[in-house]
A and B are shown apart, each in its own frame.
Chain A
């Protein structure tokens, strides 16, 4: 049924019970959930503001988070990034690129049965630290890796 994880996530903006049931029953198309796209976090400028908008703090401890990305990316338009953690009760994962104008790349909400193991491809305008943050219980942990970009990828 509806996980407590999902309730916690929805609590801020939506009536958790009703929406959770509707989503679980497949009654809502994703478009109905757009309200949950965290615009404040995605539009935050600078790493500290973006991290604070997502996690409530810009000062997150290093922890059991594995971040895999190339040390040198020849093409900033397609930089493969993987995030993995063996922490218990992971409910959210966020990915930031420090030197992008808008640092928050992606924010994932994990439901029942999801593993803390997500890979994707991001754009990087220039060389930068990439930060993966994982929420386990009530605490966020992070891992940081520098990626050197030969040709930037945010120009379209």
Chain B
């Protein structure tokens, strides 16, 4: 499992791109359904965006969004799936 995050600031707006490695198994798959159902994006520890997903989000989910912020802020991305597995990572805004 891994999460790759890029957070780049321009004019007070931080563009965040996150790519999560997860098979996002649908009900017809072996072992499915098994998918990321909650993703949280936080800036300096405060949650800014909460995503709730269905298994109809594509495999190895990608999300891009924008938040207020500055270079040097910390952006964290964490997910939890339907089996209780989770992953988290944080980056400094560039």
Residues of A that sit less than 8 Å from B by CB = 6, 23-26, 29-31, 33-34, 36-38, 42, 77-79, 82, 97, 100, 102, 104-115, 117-124, 153-156
Contact = CB atoms under 8 A, between A and B. Distances in A.
A78 B62 CA distance: 10
A114 B48 contact: yes
B2 interface: no
B78 A26 contact: no
Given A26-B45, A78-B58, A118-B65, A106 B53 contact: yes
B76 to A, nearest CB: 9
A31 B84 contact: yes
B64 interface: yes
- Prevailing SS type, chain B contact patch: strand
B32, B38, B49, B79, most chain A CB atoms within 10 A: B49
A125 to B, nearest CB: 8
13 contacts: A23-B47, A25-B45, A30-B86, A33-B40, A37-B37, A38-B52, A97-B56, A108-B50, A113-B68, A113-B69, A114-B49, A114-B67, A155-B28
Given A78-B58, A120-B61, A121-B57, A115 B26 contact: no
A31 B74 CA distance: 21
A23 to B, nearest CB: 6
**3 A-B pairs with the lowest CB-CB distances in the bound complex, closest first:** A113-B68, A121-B58, A115-B66
Nearest to A29: B86
Contacts of A108: 49-52
A31 B49 contact: no
Given A117-B66, A119-B63, A105 B53 contact: yes
A30 B80 contact: yes
Nearest to B23: A156
A112 B47 CA distance: 8
A135 B11 CA distance: 26
A79 B61 CA distance: 11
Contacts of A119: 62-65
Contact of A31 (B29, B46, B52, B86): B86
Contacts of B45: 24-26
A133 to B, nearest CB: 14
A116 B65 CA distance: 8
Contacts of B42: 26
